[in-house]
Structure 1
Amino acid sequence: MVGISIKCVKLTLSIVLMCVFSVSGQLKTLPLPNKQQLAWQKAEFGVVFHYDLHVFDTSKYNQGTNRITPVVDYNIFNPQQLDVEQWVVSAKAAGAKFAILTVTHETGFALYQSDVNPYSMKALKWKDGKADILKDFVDACRKHDIKPGVYLGIRWNSFFGVHDFKVDGEPNGEMQKRRQAYYNKMVEGMVKEICTNYGPLFEIWFDGGASRPEEGAPDVLPIVKKYQPDCLFYHNDQLAEARWGGSESGMVNYPCWSTFPYNFTGSGESAIPGISKNGFALLKEGDVNGKYWVPAMADAPLRGFNGRHEWFWEPGDEKSIYPLKELMNIYYKSVGRNATLIMGLTPDNTGLMPKEDVQRLKEWGDEIKKRFDYPIALTKGKGKIIELKLDKETGVNQFVIQENIALGHRIRAFRIQAYEKGKWQTVNNGTAIGNKYIFLSDKAIFTKKLRLVIDESVAEPDIINFAVYNIQTN
């Protein structure tokens, strides 16, 4: 099918740009990413640093308990060797292009200087209450060319007695109403502080979503859009500029489309049936015919091996760090399937990234470079067939394809072919390409010519990268 572009229109208060084109004489619409979504997908790989009061206690992290039990003494927060720049450098060594800091999590304690939240760094004896980890973090990110982002947990707050956005107390009682109003105003004030005091942010991630004011929750969307219009908003019940990939394995299904039938997602148990059914398959795969652009995030903690799943540092847990082989598998099944990968990192109670984690991140970054920085050949082009000629017959075993996602998901079906024994042989086929598709063959294919054949598209295919490699996986 041949598509002729007519015009693109931006929908008010929507995350979607719709490209209008003609197919067989009929007008069709194709969702397009906005500026922040495009930047987020092209970044491909980021990290989130989880840090909170319970890193400093002596008990194992328990989510259910931490959500409802206040920390007895917040002055246990006392990282004597704090070096946030070391955190950022370790992420950069892995190849991360952006980094996110958990400014608040379920304890409610804020890692910055807040004028509206008394339960913040101003309350500490450490550094005489003058430290600001968020400032240190964004400064380090910018120094090392990493895009900074913020993670805010407002759904639970054990200090203020908040569960699922609701302040404890007799429902609709006068005291509960007043405390709820105070909490909502405080959260909205925090969002404004973060959006106005720390420069441009790459992403704001609301843990568990941010609900919406109609449900009695803080009204955060207008604040973010007013003060950080180029920041990816993730997410509330009104808007999701990205979606959770349906698990915390770091992987998504294939195909994984960036298009989605809703411009919101809910969160876990709060998702609507259309999203939650079949084990959240829609989150993992997207919808090829979805009318909204909502790309997938694949997230996992670095310490997620051996049956562990640790978003926060625990002593003596180094065996839970993913081996390099598993990390590469995660990379292929996230970045290589059109998702943005976010890896959870865990600074320890001294204020440093543990040396074992730092070493593994460096090994991972080196392996990614080794496998993807040196293609044998690459090309780009438009149309149904993109051919790639090699200087001589060469063994190839890895293929990378990228389409111009600024124009949306145009390709619906494709084949990779190699010219062998006098004819074209199909070595791989698929459906979704999106920002990046990676295929690793279990054996080398010897050829002098390769081609990408687009079997189905909704408009003219625009391939910005078709690259081939011969890599060693051991």
Structure 2
Amino acid sequence: GANGEGPNGKKQVYDWPAFHATVRKYAPNAVMFSDGGPDVRWIGNEAGYAGETNWSLLRGSEVYAGYPKYTELIEGHADGTHWIPGEVDVSIRPGWYYRSSEDEKVKSVEKLRQIYYESIGRNANLLLNIPVDTRGLVHPNDSTALMGLRVQLDQDFRENLATRAAVIGNSQKGRRFSAQKVLDHNFQSYWTTKNEAKTGWLELTFNNPTEINTVLIQEYIALGQRVERFSVAAEIEGKWKTIITGTTIGYKRILKFPTTKTTKLKISIEQSRACPLISTIQFFKTK
């Protein structure tokens, strides 16, 4: 937005600490957004995507509104000192405000789907701007696209195929943190390794060959974001074949890959800052 520059070229100076303190006083549960938070950060673009690597951390005392190195915000800071997750803000139209000239330029369902996978599916929040028209209502073209997205996502995530599988882990920290926790639909439970091991794997076995092309993984972020690198492999003709790799996971990571038919899948945590805490693993076959 405008930074308050006037005809004399002087920039308006904002008392951000006073703004933040006022919000905290009168609306303590409000979430404040800017390049540097203090609660959520701008993702560094308005194109609708977060980085494939995306830390919820930021060097909070360094980043400020108008931060010139804003491309850093796409991935966050691996060495961040503050928990300031990214928020992807993008408009359903080319502009942020309603113009009748853009009625035929509303983003397609497929484009909105891509934005979902590249924001929510990359450990970010999504703020999708929907401008109201001159009647004060959402235009039918925007509404149609939104409802189409809802139908598409319902189809994509209709059946979690992982529920058909049995799961084991190479290590677990007792029954309370067993491998089965990743399939129990409870975000508050999770699998973790014993002896603080920073690597480990989970193996899912299906009774029948199953086709999959999408994986969803979640960390238990109440205890921080830990995973730095992971992979998913499928057993094909008796040999393990890596089908997708990733870096950070965070609250939610969704990855698509070519359709693979298998009876065994292995999710390997290859690098983590501390023992991994995996709350959810789901597999889908999307169209």
* TM range, smaller chain: 0.7 to 0.9
Q: Does 1:248 align with 2:36?
A: no
Q: Please give the secondary structure, in 2, of the residue aligned with 1:460.
A: coil
Q: Please give the secondary structure, in 2, of the residue aligned with 1:350.
A: coil
Q: Does 1:437 align with 2:222?
A: no
Distance 1:259 1:420, change over 3 A: same
Distance 1:327 1:242, change over 3 A: same
Match of 1:401 in 2: 217
The answer (yes or no) to whether the contact 1:243–1:265 under 8 Å persists in 2 is: no
Q: 1:436 deviation in Å?
A: 1.0
CA distance in 2, matches of 1:335, 1:265: 23
Structure with the higher helix share, 1 or 2 = 1
Distance 1:351 1:426, change over 3 A: same
Q: Which runs of 5+ in 1 are unaligned?
A: 1-62, 68-154, 156-162, 172-179, 181-209, 304-308
The answer (yes or no) to whether the contact 1:240–1:263 under 8 Å persists in 2 is: no
Q: Please give the secondary structure, in 2, of the residue aligned with 1:332.
A: helix
Q: Does 1:345 align with 2:130?
A: yes
Match of 2:169 in 1: none
Q: Does 1:224 align with 2:39?
A: no
Aligned ranges for residues 43-54 of structure 1 at < 5 Å? none
Distance 1:467 1:410, change over 3 A: same
TM-score (ref. length: structure 1) = 0.50
Aligned ranges for residues 18-37 of structure 1 at < 5 Å? none
1:390-425 Cα deviation digits (max 9, x unpaired): 231111111111111111111111111111111222
AA aligned to 2:152 is E
Q: Does 1:377 align with 2:162?
A: yes
Q: Does 1:364 align with 2:174?
A: no
Q: In percent, how many aligned pairs have the same letter?
A: 28
Match of 2:286 in 1: 471
Aligned ranges for residues 71-86 of structure 1 at < 5 Å? none
AA aligned to 1:301 is S
Distance 1:453 1:313, change over 3 A: same
AA aligned to 1:257 is W
The answer (yes or no) to whether the contact 2:202–2:267 under 8 Å persists in 1 is: yes
The answer (yes or no) to whether the contact 2:203–2:266 under 8 Å persists in 1 is: yes
Q: Please give the secondary structure, in 2, of the residue aligned with 1:317.
A: helix
Q: 1:169 deviation in Å?
A: 8.9
CA distance in 2, matches of 1:465, 1:421: 27
Match of 2:177 in 1: none
The answer (yes or no) to whether the contact 1:399–1:439 under 8 Å persists in 2 is: yes
Q: Please give the secondary structure, in 2, of the residue aligned with 1:289.
A: coil
Aligned length: 255
CA distance in 1, matches of 2:270, 2:9: 61
Q: 1:374 deviation in Å?
A: 1.7
CA distance in 1, matches of 2:137, 2:97: 13
Q: Please give the secondary structure, in 1, of the residue aligned with 2:25.
A: helix
CA distance in 1, matches of 2:133, 2:243: 46
Q: Please give the secondary structure, in 2, of the residue aligned with 1:338.
A: coil
Q: Please give the secondary structure, in 2, of the residue aligned with 1:401.
A: strand
- Runs of 4+ off more than 3 Å: 168-171
AA aligned to 1:231 is A
CA distance in 2, matches of 1:347, 1:170: 34
Q: 1:316 deviation in Å?
A: 3.5
- RMSD, aligned CA: 2.4
Distance 1:439 1:213, change over 3 A: closer
Distance 1:437 1:348, change over 3 A: same
The answer (yes or no) to whether the contact 1:403–1:463 under 8 Å persists in 2 is: yes
CA distance in 2, matches of 1:324, 1:264: 38
Distance 1:464 1:315, change over 3 A: same
Match of 2:111 in 1: 326
Distance 1:287 1:169, change over 3 A: closer
Q: Please give the secondary structure, in 1, of the residue aligned with 2:96.
A: coil
CA distance in 2, matches of 1:169, 1:428: 55
Aligned ranges for residues 66-465 of structure 1 at < 5 Å? 163=4, 211-212=14-15, 219-235=18-34, 240-263=38-61, 265-267=63-65, 270-271=66-67, 276-277=68-69, 280-303=70-93, 309-378=94-163, 380=182, 381-383=191-193, 384-441=200-257, 443-465=258-280
